[in-house]
């Protein structure tokens, strides 16, 4: 193996790969969005660019969306860069005065973006001494996200973005590039000749299950009830009769009604439309839980709706819905049923077989909802040899970021071997030795699908299993994600010429070379 031999990079530490060297050289010449499949070393590309900039006496700012990612980058770069490189990491919990001192006194400043955006807006420090700004998970750079605010303060430093999945929407990708001042996209896929020698096989299996009668009965009843409210919205002229009552369609109806209210159109017609739309949305969520998550998830949601309806602040839509005979009947079926979603037993079987075949295996199970994570974790904990933990976000009494970091450390070390995760486990985190990834359900996002899939096959062959309930929304979400990923891969190569025409820097900067590469 040949190692990188460059100023500021520890010798005999990082493998040299031709495609990474080429990508790094391009980043020093123009502001670049790097798109590279998960596990193929986006961070190594950033390392080479950062080391070159630091060697020339300039500082590097690396932004990462979460504290666990900030901590991960600090550990990684501390191990790769020579000891004379001063590395600091901060986040929103770090006092502003200390953040300012760290920013001025280091060579590499690793931080969460909101903290830096606040500091720059407040004049605590500026980016004049920085020669490079790196945006990890750069696909987040849309709307009012803090990356966008930081980029407004950068007129001189190189801009570099890293992502495995920028999204399928042309407009979204262009927005990211405009917001973060990228004038070039450098993309590699698993099939590129200089990349393929480093790609491990990830086998993706699709496992179908069939809803049992109790769940199917509830699903059919609630679907018919939702159709009744959709018909009412159509009769009021608020909904397109030729489009199904999908969540996106219903949310568009709600947004249009809210616009009417803001325009002082506060008639009984508008308010009735809001009630019908809200009920249709609640039913859509309930149907999704029944079809993709199971009886426990539906019971929990129905109980919450009933509690809300009984409270003084309960909404009209919740009160009307819980009084509907169809909804009451669905709750009675759920209360008397001991049926769970067949996905649960399949997930248990997959984890059990993986650990039986190799007790050293590591498994990640992704689920959309925290309640489902609780149920899955409880069931998997009964499997011999399974050491299970739940990786969830901070909201609603979840895990603090420090706890998330410690949990990931236990998983990497083998102290635990099964992680049941919500979306917090999808993005960026280095869990390189995962052998099996289970999708409890497909997700309709190509970004999230790619991120989930990328948790395995990073250092050795891996396996992904997607659980799909037949004739349910699972199939629609699976198809949507696949089509979006195809569009993303087809569009990206065509965007460079458009970027050259439409995206420019606030101020010109000269050409740069990557040392003597």
pLDDT tens string 390-437: 988 777 777 887 788 788 889 988 899 999 988 766 555 666 568 899
- CATH number, domain containing residue 451: 3.40.50.300
375: enclosing H helix or E strand = helix 370-380
Q: Look at residue 5 and tell me if it is in a domain.
A: no
Q: How many helices (H) and strands (E) does the chain have?
A: 19, 13
Distance CA 74, CA 109 (A): 9
Asked if residue 437 and residue 296 are part of one domain, the reply reads no
Measured from the Cβ of residue 338, the count of other Cβ atoms closer than 10 Å reads 6
Asked if residue 166 and residue 52 are part of one domain, the reply reads yes
Asked if residue 82 and residue 158 are part of one domain, the reply reads yes
Q: Look at residue 10 and tell me if it is in a domain.
A: no
What are 276-292's pLDDT values in tens digits?
A: 999 999 999 999 999 99
User: Tokens 């790619």 — which residue?
Assistant: 450
Asked if residue 220 and residue 206 are part of one domain, the reply reads no
Asked if residue 303 and residue 240 are part of one domain, the reply reads yes
Q: Look at residue 412 and tell me if it is in a domain.
A: yes
pLDDT at 275: 96
Which of these, 386, 383, 391, 388, lies nearest to 408 by C-alpha position? 391
User: Tokens 């990082």 — which residue?
Assistant: 14
pLDDT at 479: 92
Residue pair 500/177 in contact (Cβ under 8 Å)? The answer is: no
Task: pLDDT band for 129, please (50, 70, 90 cuts).
Answer: very high
pLDDT at 374: 93
Residue pair 161/33 in contact (Cβ under 8 Å)? The answer is: yes
Distance CA 386, CA 278 (A): 42
Asked if residue 400 and residue 295 are part of one domain, the reply reads no
Which of these, 484, 468, 473, lies nearest to 204 by C-alpha position? 468
pLDDT at 40: 82
Could you tell me which residue, 430 or 87, shows the higher pLDDT?
87
The pLDDT of residue 507 is above 60: no
Task: pLDDT band for 508, please (50, 70, 90 cuts).
Answer: very low
Q: Is the dihedral of CA 186, 192, 197, 199 positive or negative?
A: positive
Asked if residue 141 and residue 64 are part of one domain, the reply reads yes
Greatest C-alpha distance within the chain: 75
Q: Look at residue 497 and tell me if it is in a domain.
A: no
Which pair of tokens denotes residue 402? 């420090």
Which pair of tokens denotes residue 179? 């917001």
Average pLDDT of the chain is 89
User: In this structure, what are the phi and psi dihedrals at residue 377, rounded to the nearest 5 degrees?
Assistant: -60, -40
Counting the structural domains of the chain, the total is: 3
pLDDT at 304: 94
The pLDDT of residue 185 is above 90: yes
Q: Look at residue 517 and tell me if it is in a domain.
A: no
Asked if residue 357 and residue 290 are part of one domain, the reply reads no
Asked if residue 435 and residue 307 are part of one domain, the reply reads no
- Please tell me what DSSP assigns to residue 204: E
* Neighbouring residues of 382: CB distance < 8 A, sequence distance ≥ 6: none
Which of these, 9, 4, 32, lies nearest to 133 by C-alpha position? 32
Asked if residue 391 and residue 266 are part of one domain, the reply reads no
Asked if residue 374 and residue 255 are part of one domain, the reply reads no
Asked if residue 222 and residue 306 are part of one domain, the reply reads yes
C-alpha atoms less than 13 angstroms from C-alpha of 371 in its C-beta half-sphere: 12
What are 131-179's pLDDT values in tens digits?
A: 999 999 999 999 999 999 999 999 899 999 999 888 778 888 999 999 9
* Neighbouring residues of 456: CB distance < 8 A, sequence distance ≥ 6: 202, 364, 434, 435, 436, 437, 462, 463, 464
Q: Look at residue 498 and tell me if it is in a domain.
A: no
Which pair of tokens denotes residue 224? 């018919």
For β-strands 108-111 and 87-90, DSSP reports them as: parallel
Which pair of tokens denotes residue 141? 């750079």
Q: Look at residue 480 and tell me if it is in a domain.
A: yes
Distance CA 294, CA 209 (A): 12
- CATH number, domain containing residue 315: 1.20.1320.20
C-alpha atoms less than 13 angstroms from C-alpha of 12 in its C-beta half-sphere: 0
Q: Look at residue 418 and tell me if it is in a domain.
A: yes
User: Residue 109's domain spans which residues?
Assistant: 18-198
């Amino acid at each position: 193996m040949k190692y990188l031999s460059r100023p500021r990079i520890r010798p005999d530490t990082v493998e040299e790969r031709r495609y990474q060297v080429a990508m790094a050289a391009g980043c020093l010449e123009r502001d670049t969005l790097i798109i590279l499949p998960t596990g193929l070393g986006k961070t190594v590309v950033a390392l080479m660019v950062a080391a070159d900039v630091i060697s020339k006496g300039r500082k590097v700012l690396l932004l990462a969306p979460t504290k666990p990612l900030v901590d991960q980058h600090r550990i990684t770069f501390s191990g790769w860069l020579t000891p004379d490189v001063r590395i600091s990491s901060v986040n929103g919990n770090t006092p502003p005065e200390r953040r300012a001192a760290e920013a001025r006194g280091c060579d590499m400043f690793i931080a969460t973006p909101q903290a830096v955006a606040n500091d720059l807006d407040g004049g605590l420090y500026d980016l004049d001494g920085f020669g490079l700004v790196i945006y990890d998970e750069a696909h987040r750079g849309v709307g009012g996200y803090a990356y966008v605010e930081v980029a407004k303060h950068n007129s001189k430093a190189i801009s570099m973005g890293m992502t495995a999945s920028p999204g399928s929407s042309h407009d979204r990708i262009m927005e990211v590039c405009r917001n973060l001042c990228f004038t070039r996209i450098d993309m590699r896929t698993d099939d590129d000749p200089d990349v393929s020698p480093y790609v491990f096989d990830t086998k993706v299996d699709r496992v179908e299950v069939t809803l049992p009668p109790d769940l199917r009965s509830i699903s059919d009843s609630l679907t018919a009830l939702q159709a009744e409210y959709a018909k009412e919205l159509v009769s009021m002229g608020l909904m397109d009769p030729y489009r199904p009552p999908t969540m996106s369609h219903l949310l568009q109806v709600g947004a249009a009604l809210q616009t009417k209210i803001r325009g002082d159109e506060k008639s009984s017609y508008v308010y009735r439309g809001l009630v019908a739309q809200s009920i249709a949305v609640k039913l859509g969520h309930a149907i999704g839980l029944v079809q993709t998550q199971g009886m426990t998830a539906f019971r929990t949601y129905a109980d919450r709706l009933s509690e809300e309806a009984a409270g003084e602040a309960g909404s009209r839509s919740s009160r009307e819905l819980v009084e509907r005979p169809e909804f009451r009947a669905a709750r009675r079926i759920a209360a008397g049923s001991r049926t769970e979603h067949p996905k649960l037993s399949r997930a248990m079987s997959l984890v059990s077989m993986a650990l039986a075949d190799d007790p050293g295996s590591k498994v990640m199970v992704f689920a959309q909802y925290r309640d489902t994570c609780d149920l899955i974790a409880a069931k998997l904990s009964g499997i011999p040899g399974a050491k299970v933990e739940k990786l969830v976000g901070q909201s609603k009494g979840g895990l603090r970021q420090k706890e998330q970091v410690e949990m990931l450390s236990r998983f990497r070390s083998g102290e635990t071997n099964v992680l049941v995760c919500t979306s917090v486990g999808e993005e960026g985190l280095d869990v390189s030795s995962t052998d099996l990834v289970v999708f409890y359900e497909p997700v309709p996002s190509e970004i999230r699908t790619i991120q989930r899939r990328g948790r395995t096959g990073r250092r050795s062959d891996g396996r992904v299993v997607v659980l799909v309930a037949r004739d349910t929304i699972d199939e629609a979400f699976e198809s949507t994600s696949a089509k979006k990923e195809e569009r993303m891969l087809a569009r990206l190569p065509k965007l460079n010429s458009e970027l050259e025409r439409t995206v420019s820097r606030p101020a010109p900067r000269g050409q740069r070379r990557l040392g003597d590469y």
